[in-house]
Chains A and B, each alone.
Chain A
Amino acid sequence: MVAKTPVHVLDYLTRLTASVFADIPPRAMILLVTLLALLLIAPWLINDYLLTVLIVVLYFAFTGQAWNIMMGFAGQLSLGHAIYAGLGGYIAAVLFARFGIAPWLGFLAVIPVAAVCGATIGFLAFRFRVAGVYFAILTIAFAEFARIGFDHLDFVNASAGLFLPVAQYAHNDLWRLRGNPTMFYYVILTAAALVFVLCRALLKSRPGYCWLAIREDEQAARAVGIDSFHYKMAAVMISAVITSFAGVFYAFFYNNLFPEQVFNISRSIEMILGPIIGGIGTLFGPILGAFVLTGLAEALNTALIALGFDLPGAKQVFYGICLLLVVVVLPDGVWPWLARLIGVDEARR
């Protein structure tokens, strides 16, 4: 793209946006628009608790799509994605807590770190041909390394946890991400929507085709001139940077960070549940997965509490069972099956 004038840029963007939504089947488009409309007006329809649940849903829809870029597009199974979120959260939080730097600027500092981290893991894996399950184990090792490392890092308060100053604000401060849940809701909604558009655009672009080719058959892809190392690295780095933003959001929403929780393998697994249950490699899969999983989990939790049980870990057992069922019964995920059912098949290329 050679942007000569603002008019050219605008024209390019318009054509890009149009092509991004070009061949979504009409039924799917209606679904999409309805969903978006409902999500936009949600804060007026539901109470604060449900709003928080929706925030969690959108958070996982966001991270799920980011993870999907690496796995669904480039075929690399990462089980250590929590490291990017953790790094993002900690860096932005420290910059804010100690130097008063706003999270959006903090994110600018996070981007290169996340990219380098992803590039390191990618480089080590791809240059030394660590693939498949071994790659997954490598990613787990890195995340664990970060967990134990941060647990002993006094600069971020080690295992005692890092806390963000929470002051009473009379109004929402978007710049410093301080405010009531509704503000956070719209931030994560925008983020999830933007990632969706990005994924769609990527899929239809030249890199998107190359990724799919690599995912399908790396050797055959190389035989038609695709530099698979280059593209795999790009997928890892993009996925890492996007996930790191989720970490920034997490830090400023919950206002506290503990290495034991943030870098925990459970976080990594939670991030992948959405896409796997929804459907790896599909566009709607991670979103559907996030809604279904978190929605049902919350329902379960509420039910259990209503019945008088306080079972920490029940949610995780539920996640495990869902994952088990999906892997055994619907290995392609729920979305492809559902899509066929209601007639909105994506040509899952």
Chain B
Amino acid sequence: MPIDVYLNVAVAGILTGLVYGLMALGLSVIFGVVRVVNFAHGEMMSIAMYLTVLLFSSLNLDPLVMLVPIAAVLFVFGYALQAGLINPFISRPEHSQFLLLVALALIIVNTLLIIFGPDARTVQTSYTFDSFQLGALIVDATKLYAGAAAIVVAALLFAFFRLAPLGKAIRACADNYTGALVVGLDVKRLYALTFGIGAACVGAAGVMMTLIVDVTPIIGPTYTLLAFVIVITGGLGSMAGALLGGLLIGVTEALAGLLFTPSAKSMFAFAILVLVLLFRPQGILGRRSI
């Protein structure tokens, strides 16, 4: 195959990978701070995706316009979830929290199935079939916009955690729970905020994802697993790692889809997961050892 094809597929993979990265960033933030393994991550994303589809089909609003409102809705959802359901669970054994979220994921996926049915929905905007050309490179407009939006949101997030006092307070909680308590931080509220932020991330990623893929109720679990692969590969507790992992997985998936059967591309993500868990469990950029 000519090199152009590889290049195009790789670039498409990078752009999709940026959206994956944003999704994984949400998970990384949640896990890094609250230490909750959010097994309902992909399902939360599918909520955002269905909201996008719904608003698009009824109000004809472009997904990119709906980015902020839908992210806000997911923020509230995440905040409420942490404050109401998960906070009381902090002292329970690890697998209890995990199962709680497994239950939630199960409920979300099937409720979406009941409400929307199993058929795929898509969002077709004015630019769905547009593409930009840069020499030999042909880039889908949808992917380009999605990737660009992902970069913007990620940058905002980085800035928030580095510069904003609230962001620093959250990082303090992550580093040292007891220390944060001692210093007088309202850790529970900060946890809820963090979960909200993580949910908003995944919500934003979901909105962008509707530009790229079809929406069905059962994609939730697939994205949950993908988010885990990315976060573990990139490194737990590392935001840059989540993005890096996203890019890596995005490109690998795209190229694997090209070289082998497209539908088997997730197998490679899992192979990578197994390898990472075995040989470098802290991930590429991870600081903590598991």
In the complex they form, do A and B come into direct contact, defined as C-beta atoms under 8 angstroms apart? yes
Which chain A residues have a beta carbon within 8 Å of chain B's beta carbons? 77, 79, 124, 128-130, 132-134, 136-138, 140-142, 144-145, 148-149, 151-152, 265, 269, 276, 311-314, 316-317, 319-321, 323-324, 327-328, 331
Contact in complex: A144, B266 (CB < 8 Å): yes
Contact in complex: B267, A133 (CB < 8 Å): no
Contact in complex: A141, B274 (CB < 8 Å): yes
Contact in complex: A132, B271 (CB < 8 Å): no
Most chain B CB inside 10 Å of its own CB: which residue of A79, A128, A320 = A320
Of all chain B residues, the one with the shortest Cβ separation from A328 is B100
- In whole angstroms, what is the CA distance A77 to B102 when docked? 13
Contact in complex: A314, B110 (CB < 8 Å): yes
Contact in complex: A133, B37 (CB < 8 Å): yes
User: Residues of A contacting B271 with CB < 8 Å?
Assistant: 145
- In whole angstroms, what is the CA distance A132 to B99 when docked? 12
Contact in complex: B114, A265 (CB < 8 Å): no
Partner of B274, one of A124, A323, A327: A124
Q: Does B111 contact A (CB under 8 A)?
A: yes
User: Residues of B contacting A128 with CB < 8 Å?
Assistant: 277-279, 281
Binds A, one of B58-66, B90-98, B188-196, B238-246: B90-98
Partner of A148, one of B98, B114, B267: B267
Supply 13 further A-B pairs (C-beta < 8 A) apart from A142-B274, A312-B114, A323-B99. Answer: A124-B274, A128-B278, A128-B279, A128-B281, A136-B95, A137-B228, A145-B270, A148-B266, A149-B267, A152-B261, A316-B113, A317-B106, A317-B110
Q: Does B159 contact A (CB under 8 A)?
A: no
Whole-angstrom distance from the CB of B132 to the nearest CB of chain A? 33
**With A152-B261, A331-B92 in contact, is A321–B107 under 8 Å at CB?**
yes
**With A133-B37, A327-B96 in contact, is A313–B111 under 8 Å at CB?**
yes
Identify 9 residue pairs between A and B in the complex whose beta-carbon atoms are under 8 Å apart, listed by A's number: A130-B277, A134-B281, A144-B225, A151-B263, A313-B114, A323-B102, A324-B103, A327-B96, A331-B96
Chain B interface residue count: which class? 35 or more
Interface of B is mostly: helix
Partner of B110, one of A124, A149, A276, A316: A316
Contact in complex: B277, A138 (CB < 8 Å): yes
Q: Does B44 contact A (CB under 8 A)?
A: no
- In whole angstroms, what is the CA distance A138 to B37 when docked? 14
- In whole angstroms, what is the CA distance A141 to B228 when docked? 10
User: Residues of B contacting A129 with CB < 8 Å?
Assistant: 281, 290
User: Residues of A contacting B225 with CB < 8 Å?
Assistant: 137, 140-141, 144
Whole-angstrom distance from the CB of A52 to the nearest CB of chain B? 22
User: Residues of A contacting B279 with CB < 8 Å?
Assistant: 128
Partner of B99, one of A141, A148, A276, A317: A276
Partner of A130, one of B85, B110, B281: B281
Contact in complex: B261, A316 (CB < 8 Å): no
Q: Does B51 contact A (CB under 8 A)?
A: no
Chain B residues 235 to 290 lying within 8 A of chain A, measured CB to CB, are 261, 263-264, 266-267, 270-271, 273-274, 277-279, 281, 290
Whole-angstrom distance from the CB of A331 to the nearest CB of chain B? 6
User: Residues of B contacting A320 with CB < 8 Å?
Assistant: 103-107, 110
Whole-angstrom distance from the CB of A300 to the nearest CB of chain B? 13
Contact in complex: B106, A138 (CB < 8 Å): no
Q: Does B221 contact A (CB under 8 A)?
A: yes
- In whole angstroms, what is the CA distance A262 to B226 when docked? 21
Chain B residues 54 to 110 lying within 8 A of chain A, measured CB to CB, are 85, 92, 94-96, 98-100, 102-107, 109-110
Of all chain B residues, the one with the shortest Cβ separation from A145 is B270
User: Residues of B contacting A144 with CB < 8 Å?
Assistant: 225, 266, 270
**With A136-B98, A152-B261 in contact, is A317–B107 under 8 Å at CB?**
yes
- In whole angstroms, what is the CA distance A308 to B37 when docked? 39
**With A128-B277, A137-B228, A317-B110 in contact, is A148–B102 under 8 Å at CB?**
no
- In whole angstroms, what is the CA distance A140 to B39 when docked? 12
- In whole angstroms, what is the CA distance A182 to B186 when docked? 61
User: Residues of B contacting A79 with CB < 8 Å?
Assistant: 102
Chain B residues 10 to 56 lying within 8 A of chain A, measured CB to CB, are 37
**With A269-B102, A323-B106, A324-B107 in contact, is A134–B95 under 8 Å at CB?**
no
Partner of B100, one of A133, A140, A142, A327: A327
Contact in complex: A317, B111 (CB < 8 Å): yes
User: Residues of A contacting B118 with CB < 8 Å?
Assistant: 312
- In whole angstroms, what is the CA distance A129 to B229 when docked? 17
Whole-angstrom distance from the CB of B190 to the nearest CB of chain A? 22
Whole-angstrom distance from the CB of A304 to the nearest CB of chain B? 11
Contact in complex: B114, A311 (CB < 8 Å): yes
Contact in complex: B109, A137 (CB < 8 Å): no
Contact in complex: B281, A313 (CB < 8 Å): no
- In whole angstroms, what is the CA distance A123 to B98 when docked? 23
User: Residues of A contacting B95 with CB < 8 Å?
Assistant: 77, 132-133, 136
Partner of A265, one of B107, B221, B264, B270: B221
User: Residues of A contacting B37 with CB < 8 Å?
Assistant: 133
User: Residues of A contacting B94 with CB < 8 Å?
Assistant: 132-133
Contact in complex: A152, B100 (CB < 8 Å): no
- In whole angstroms, what is the CA distance A133 to B35 when docked? 11
Of all chain A residues, the one with the shortest Cβ separation from B278 is A128
Contact in complex: B266, A313 (CB < 8 Å): no
Contact in complex: B110, A324 (CB < 8 Å): no
**With A265-B221, A323-B102 in contact, is A137–B110 under 8 Å at CB?**
no
Q: Top 5 closest A-B pairs, CB basis? A: A320-B106, A320-B107, A313-B110, A323-B103, A313-B113
Of all chain A residues, the one with the shortest Cβ separation from B99 is A327
- In whole angstroms, what is the CA distance A269 to B228 when docked? 18
Of all chain B residues, the one with the shortest Cβ separation from A331 is B96
